[in-house]
Amino acid sequence: MSETAERQVLWGGETAKAVDNFPVSGERIPVAVGHWLGRIKAAAARANAELGLLDPDVAQRIASAGDRIAVGEFDDQFPIDVFQTGSGTSSNMNANEVIASLAGEDVHPNDHVNMGQSSNDVFPSAVHLAALDRAVHDLVPALEQLAHALETKAEEFDDVVKSGRTHLMDAVPVTLGQEFSGYAAQVRQGIARISDAFPRLGQIPLGGTATGTGLNTHPEFAARVRELLHESTGLPISAPADPFESQAARDGLVEASGALKVVAVSLTKIANDLRLMGSGPRAGLSEIFLPELQKGSSIMPGKVNPVIPEVVTQVSAQVIGNDTAITIGGMNGHFELNVYVPLIARNLLQSIDLLANVSRLFAERCVAGIEANRERNEQYAEGTLSAATALNPFIGYDKASEIVKGAVASGRSLREVAREAGVEESVLDEALDYHKMAKPHG
């Protein structure tokens, strides 16, 4: 039999039934979840052999098959739609059948591959660890890259003074660097929020079997599997706070999604600010120049659009939508089991991958290439009438307000109107120092 023909029949009857029963979206379970099902099955076989429950040769063959699944060799052997039975039973059976086929005819998918396990504890464990793995090794490094890019620009633009804006109206001067420093801090806070969820993501229900009691499993089984998984991955994998909490609720996944939502909110704020600051080049703010990546119009020659910030905000909208579905899924656990796990898995893993990809894109193709329009920023700093705030300690709020009204009515500068109102030149020199206003404490 050729390799192609062999691969076509690796799954068995239960998988085939599920394929027929759930022709819903054409979208399979997240690849990372399939990989972790293989990794868990491999560790379970090794643990059961150590405990004397499984023949060592059978265990070795099961573990070898699970290892191959874990590295993506058989991704095409997981054909079931992600919208399936809510416990993930179909995909767990899928993994059992594929591993049994790879391990040999004397290996039974339930008696051997699934020994000491239930779909109810294995599938959510795979989802937790897939999310933890992707967040640790992909999302956090991508956000670190974006934070570093923003910090680099904050330093580069430290001396670029401009008008601040509150309510989208002119406010007292700030520096462009201060704004970018704030953006970097938002991303850093997002990394901290995501990282705070890692301990709960790493608490897995494995060992609870069907309802959390641990029926049909050795009392040392779960701890041994967790240790094997920790040793091979370095991830913070631990016992649940309580087996019934871990079996019945998916709060750790909901918490992680909430942290991702905050990151999406932060990225939207940052991207929208950059779009506004880069608007123009003549009829907008034109405070910064965004990298020119492609033509912005099929009809308007020379037009350039903020395409990367637009992608960032679209991804953020999707992540926020995913979080809503995850929240609904999380709140709909009933008694000893949550039956929205495939939905949660789909949305959470998609959010992690989207945010990781777009954060790298944002850093590399947008932030790194931003240039400051120094002349325009200086003009805005000198033109903001809110700079009159700095006159308050010298002449009082009411007189400063009169000067602002006079400047608005006449179109003249604050300095000119204030001088005419009798404010001494030395006071104007001290108060209307725009760089000092942006950094009053040095």
Query: What are the catalytic residues?
Result: 167, 297
Query: Between β-strands 333-334 and 169-175, what pairing exists: parallel, antiparallel or unpaired?
Result: unpaired
Phi and psi, residue 132, nearest 5°: -60, -45
Answer whether the bond into residue 440 is a cis peptide, omega within 30°: no
CA pair distance 293, 327, nearest whole angstrom:
37
Q: For residue 309, which of 351, 370, 257 has the smallest C-alpha distance?
A: 370
What gap in Å lies between CA 47 and CA 82, rounded to an integer?
A: 29
Asked if 139 and 355 count as a contact pair (C-beta separation under 8 A), the reply is: yes
List all residues 6 or more positions away from 235 whose beta carbon is below 8 Å from its beta carbon.
129, 132, 133, 136, 202, 229
Distant-in-sequence, close-in-space partners of 184: CB < 8 Å, separation ≥ 6: 147, 150, 151, 154
Residue type, 260: L
Backbone angles phi, psi at 353, to 5 degrees: -65, -40
The total number of residues written for the chain in this structure: 442
Count of C-beta atoms within a 10 Å radius of residue 397? 12
Tell me 169's DSSP state: E
